[in-house]
Amino acid sequence: MSDSFRGTTALTVIVDGMVLSRWTSVDIMRDLSEISGSFILGLRDDMRSLASWPYGTPGEIGPLLTGKKIEIYAHRQPVLIGWIEEVAADASEGEAILFISGRDLTGDLADCAAGPNGPVEFKGVTLAEFAERLCKPFGIPVRADVDVGPPFPRASIDAAETVLSAIEKHARQRGVLVTSDGVEGLVLTRSGQSRAAADIVFPGIGMKGSGARFSTRDRFSDYFVKGQAEKAAGTRAASAPMRPGNTPQERVRNYLGGDQGGAKPKEERGVSIQGHARDPEIRRWRPIVAMMKSQESGGGAQRQAEWMKRVHRARGEDVSYEMHGWRWGGSLWRPNELVGVSDRFIQVDRDFLIAGVDMIFDEEGGEISSIRLVGPEAYDPEGEA
């Protein structure tokens, strides 16, 4: 059950030491797909209003300017620390409304170059050490709450690559998810490492609405991963043999190396790295082929195929809820937590992953939490191929 409505005083914002708590609108967004959290806050700017109209209400709010550091707390819990990146003033007769927006500290990592002045290559560093070195010039700390794996023999940065792109590229090789906690900095983790403080039950007390989309548009029956350890010398047959009674699946398996019409001994030495995973829920023939990320073992190709199946299936589930209040079970909703869902309308009763949280407030609706859920494996990193 959600907390009782507390009005705008539920949100406290500190801008360069100035404490602000009277808000007309609030929208604080955190989503795994965006890495850095963002905010749009609306308030009445006392100083601008008084300077514009003689009957303006005196106060201490303002002026708020771009480039200032901002700390946002909801129900005394830290939600976001970042920068004001945009200020939009909206004035009408007798009133001056100001909207400030921006992102958390990690927003700079998504925008800025990783190594403009070098170095662009690091030897014998772990993923955490690599991320720390790239984030240090920005004053952004890095926290790893999972094992990040062995050191890289060589970790390199492309010329125009952003900090976030460079870190994510290497994180994928270690099966690690890169995200932001909104407050302290960058986090190296895996999806669903913790659980939400409360489950979601719909219909239920405090629930405002639910919605769901279950799609097979980007799901496939068979996931093939092919690789080439050495050149196959052009010995591949032009096509798989067509015989009465052959299913498409059988013809593909033959083409990829079956006993009849498949790879010849010389070719097997060249094209032998392949993985295959099947999604039994997709009953019609819908194959997809991907190439190996690197020239590795057949086991790596199989892991890549299994990963593709899991992620495509999980991302085909998109469930959302709106509920009164920002806190349930005494805690704020946060991304990357597992939550139990029991919903009689969409007919699910199992765990989902919180992919995004949108904390909304306006003077008409009060506090609203908009929660976006996906399958638990939707953000599983690929790991080493």
pLDDT higher for 187 or 55?
187
Query: 3-class DSSP state for residue 262?
Result: coil
User: Is residue 261 pLDDT above 70, yes or no?
Assistant: no
**Residue 2: helix, strand or coil by DSSP?**
strand
Looking at the chain, the whole-number percentage of residues with pLDDT higher than 90 is 52
Q: Using an 8 Å Cβ cutoff, are 64 and 367 in contact?
A: no
| CA-based nearest residue to 124, from 148, 155, 170 | 155
| Residue 249 pLDDT exceeds 70 | no
Alpha carbon distance 29, 19 (integer Å): 21
- Among residues 186, 140, 223, 171, the alpha carbon closest in space to that of 35 is found at 186
Q: Give the Cα-Cα-Cα angle 299, 192, 162 (nearest 5 degrees).
A: 75
Over range 81-110, report the average pLDDT.
Answer: 87
Sheet with 142-144: list strands edge to edge: 142-144, 186-189, 177-180
CA atoms within 13 A on the CB side of 61: 21
The pLDDT-based confidence of 385 (bands split at 50, 70, 90) is very low
Could you give the C-alpha distances from 293 to 256, 303, 382, in angstroms and in order? 18, 11, 10
Q: For residue 34, with 0-12 CB atoms within 10 Å meaning exposed, 13-18 middle and 19 or more buried, which class applies?
A: middle
Two tokens, residue 2:
């959600």
Q: How many CB atoms lie within 10 A of CB 183?
A: 17
Name which residue leads in pLDDT, 6 or 80.
Answer: 80
pLDDT at 254: 56
> Which DSSP symbol is given to 325?
S
Task: Spell out the domains of the chain, with CATH numbers in brackets.
Answer: 108-189 (3.55.50.10), 222-314 (no CATH)
**Comparing C-alpha atoms, which of 39, 5, 7 is closest to residue 21?**
7
Question: How far apart, in Å, are the Cα atoms of 69 and each of 13, 87, 104, 184, 296?
Answer: 10, 13, 9, 14, 46
Q: Taking all residues of the chain, what is their mean pLDDT, rounded to a whole number? A: 82
pTM over 0.95: no
Q: Give, as one character, the DSSP assignment of residue 37.
A: -
Model pLDDT for residues 332-382, shown as the tens digit of each residue: 999 999 999 999 999 999 999 999 999 999 877 789 999 999 999 998 877
Between 311 and 362, the higher pLDDT residue: 311
In this predicted structure, what is the pLDDT of residue 262? 44
Once rounded to an integer, what is the mean pLDDT over residues 89-118? Answer: 85
What does the pLDDT read at residue 258? 47
User: Which ranges of the chain does DSSP label H, i.e. alpha helix?
Assistant: 46-52, 107-111, 127-135, 163-172, 248-255, 265-270, 298-315
* 198: phi then psi, degrees, rounded to nearest 5: -140, 155
Percent of the chain with pLDDT over 70: 77
Average pLDDT over residues 11-34: 87
Flag the least confident range among 53-67, 82-96, 352-366.
Answer: 53-67
pLDDT per residue over 269-307, tens digit each? 455 568 899 999 999 999 999 887 655 555 678 888 888
Using DSSP's 3-state secondary structure scheme, residue 30 falls into: strand
